[in-house]
Amino acid sequence: MPHQCTNCGRTFADGSKEMLSGCPDCGGNKFQFDPTGEAETAPPETEDTATRSASTASPEGTSADDPGVTDDVAEPNTSPPTAPDTEDGAQASARSDVVSPDELAAAAESTEPAADRAEQGETAPSPADTDPSDTDASDSNLDALRQKLNDQFESIRIVSPGQYELNLMELYDREEYIISLREDGRYVIEMPEGWDDR
Amino acid sequence: MGLLTNLRDSITRVTDRLFADDEPKRIGIYGPPNAGKTTLANRIARDWTGDAVGPESHIPHETRRARRKENVEIERNGKTVTIDIVDTPGVTTKVDYKEFLDHDMEKDDAVKRSREATEGVAEAMHWLREDVDGVIYVLDSTTDPFTQVNTMLIGIIESQDLPVLIFANKVDLDDADVKRIADAFPQHETVPLSALEGDNMDEVYEKIAEYFG
Ligand SMILES: Nc1nc2c(ncn2[C@@H]2O[C@H](COP(=O)(O)OP(=O)(O)OP(=O)(O)O)[C@@H](O)[C@H]2O)c(=O)[nH]1
Ligand SMILES: [Mg+2]
């Protein structure tokens, strides 16, 4: 069940058709991909292995109604302060048009499960996400995850952190819209519903 | 996954097209990184609305999220055409943070920029599939137009039957070669311009009105 509704936490088998018309439970149309297939509605603290915590669901960088585009006028090149410069903080600051620094700070301290935060429209890392590579064990997990992402998702190949190869045809052919790409092998996608109300 | 969505997408598209006749056409500004897409988008937006669209930079992948400027009213020959312009991230098949290190960027920032750039390409490709009614394809006339990216994108645009104009940008530079671009895509109209200097903008607006009006 590699996909999970970021709103209510319901999980779906890979390629589940149910997702295509939005979550049958809550109508949400954002789904997080979890390459380990271990997405659960259970809160993170019940998880004890490195693999599990590295796969904890966490939506990020998306607004509820506008998946893609910043409207109208350019704002100055903002980079709001994000306290620790983790992958997630960096990612989130790149999304400053949809997430305010305050929300980030609040959410970064929160230990709530991801689904709850998604409901509030907030998007930020859970503590378990912030440094998946602090032990040797999770380093190899990281490699495994990266490999899984590459297999599953051949439209973008992660050569190494910061180095990517893109298959344009694959990207074009994909029906889901990729919102957020992460080193640990997760990304957040949005299904077509979200596009309609732009 | 796929069939259902494809079907639904095409239904949406058809209905969109049926009912959206009086809506402004959404014109995507596409092309490789650094071609001058944002410079062009800003010039068009400034000329007709007074606003800008986004930051320009000599460092590639400055634009990493699509940006839209709506209801740009362009007047040509007593006629007004209204379009939405979408400035998209430069499309490429390879993103490497090392490229940014040459621009005095710290490694962390370069890695981050590179990840965002990759997401940006994914976004740009997605817009091409779903959300644009026409394309302005911007190329830097001082560089070789025969690239995999250009061939692939133009091919996709043609397969979508979208109206497309090729803009040969940066003609103010000495080594600009507009003919090389025109020869590379003889099936499409090539318009020379300098988005930076504002050269040949009259023809630019004329063609926009003609193709996307
Ligand atoms: N000489 C000259 N330079 C130009 C022209 N148009 C753009 N430039 C310069 O080319 C560089 C890239 O311009 P951008 O508009 O940021 O390019 P872009 O296509 O949006 O690039 P990405 O967002 O990275 O894909 C900047 O330094 C611009 O000043 C032009 O007509 N002539
Ligand atoms: Mg740009």
A/B interface, count of CB pairs below 8 Å: 137
ipTM for this model: 0.84
Going by pLDDT thresholds of 50, 70 and 90, the confidence category of residue B163 is very high
Q: Hey, where are the domains in chain A?
A: 3-96, 101-152, 156-197
Q: Which of A22-31, A144-153, B117-126, B198-207 has the lowest mean pLDDT?
A: A144-153
Model confidence, pTM: 0.65
Cα of B130 from ligand 2 centre, angstroms? 20
Show the tokens assigned to B108: 């962390």
Question: Percent of chain A, pLDDT > 90?
Answer: 0
Site residues for ligand 1, CB cut-off 6 Å:
B 31, 33-39, 56-58, 60-63, 89-90, 169-170, 172-173, 194-196
The pLDDT assigned to B169 comes to 98
Chain A: residue nearest B153 by CA? Answer: A168
Cα of B99 from ligand 2 centre, angstroms? 17
pLDDT digits (tens, 9 = 90+) for A37-88: 444 443 333 333 333 333 333 333 333 344 444 444 433 444 443 333 333 3
Q: Which domains does chain B have, with CATH numbers?
A: 23-212 (3.40.50.300)
Number of neighbouring beta carbons within 10 Å of residue B115? 26
Beta strands (DSSP E) in chain B are: 25-30, 67-76, 79-87, 94-96, 134-140, 164-169, 190-192
CB contact under 8 A, B1 and A165: no
pLDDT digits (tens, 9 = 90+) for A131-140: 444 445 556 6
Range 114-153 of B in CB contact (< 8 A) with A: 114-116, 118-119, 121-123, 125-131, 149, 152-153
The pLDDT assigned to A182 comes to 64
Handedness of CA A73, A76, A81, A82 (dihedral sign): positive
Quickly list H helices, A64-167: 87-94, 101-109, 114-119, 136-152
Asked if pLDDT for residue B20 goes beyond 70, the answer is no
Asked whether the beta carbons of A39 and A51 are under 8 A apart, the reply is no
Contacts of A47 (CB under 8 A, 6+ apart): A40, A53, A56, A128
